[in-house]
Chains A and B, each alone.
Chain A
């Protein structure tokens, strides 16, 4: 399946917007997570946890799923393919892993937000809630690695990509260092 140039650019624009938006949303979430980790005032904690719940559920999760789906579309719809180049394959693995951890962690965040939304929750209960800093910092680092991979596109074909390249002589650069004709595709 190959996308037309117009569709490819539209898919790539969507993928960039969703991916960069995901990182930005995590930055906003991190600010609230840090506030929850260091704050002691019940009102501040309540606000921080409610904000974390809203950002995670309404912004980060949709952006993550959208980035994953548009990434699949851009890969499969161009000559880069999904399994041919190590940088694409590693990006897919890291993005899938980050999305899976996020979906699991959303349950924890929702539980914290539920306590914060409960007007009968005591100050002690609010202060006893934890943070998700390990997951949010880890997620941000993973996404930055994916960002760097997508910007630099380090060379290297997978064994599958190498085999496919040999089946399609002239389609790709013969050194296994990446396609010449598709450099401008992403």
Chain B
């Protein structure tokens, strides 16, 4: 039966970085997909105009949402 490897010794100069965790890679892939999707929607105009003018809203004239 193979012996279980021990934890890397931080003082061992040969110790190597264990690598990026899988959950970080998964979140990164999701983030890239979302950014590409948003870019596609903006470039193709599928989402309509972006910003206050998208539905004909006027420029803010009230302090309602200005803290």
Contact = CB atoms under 8 A, between A and B. Distances in A.
Interface of A: 50, 52-54, 56-58, 61-62, 86, 90, 106-115, 117-118, 125, 128-130, 134, 145, 154-157, 159, 162, 165-166, 169, 172, 174-176
Contact of A56 (B18, B27, B57, B65): B65
A62 B17 contact: no
Contacts of A174: 7-10
Given A114-B58, A114-B59, A175-B8, A62 B64 contact: no
Identify whether the interface residues of B are mostly helix, strand, loop, or mixed: loop
Identify whether the interface residues of A are mostly helix, strand, loop, or mixed: helix
B51 interface: yes
Given A108-B54, A114-B60, A114-B64, 10 more contacts: A53-B64, A108-B52, A110-B62, A113-B60, A129-B57, A134-B47, A156-B23, A165-B10, A174-B10, A176-B8
Contacts of A115: 57-58
A106 B61 CA distance: 14
B39 to A, nearest CB: 15
Contacts of B64: 50, 53-54, 57, 110, 113-114, 117
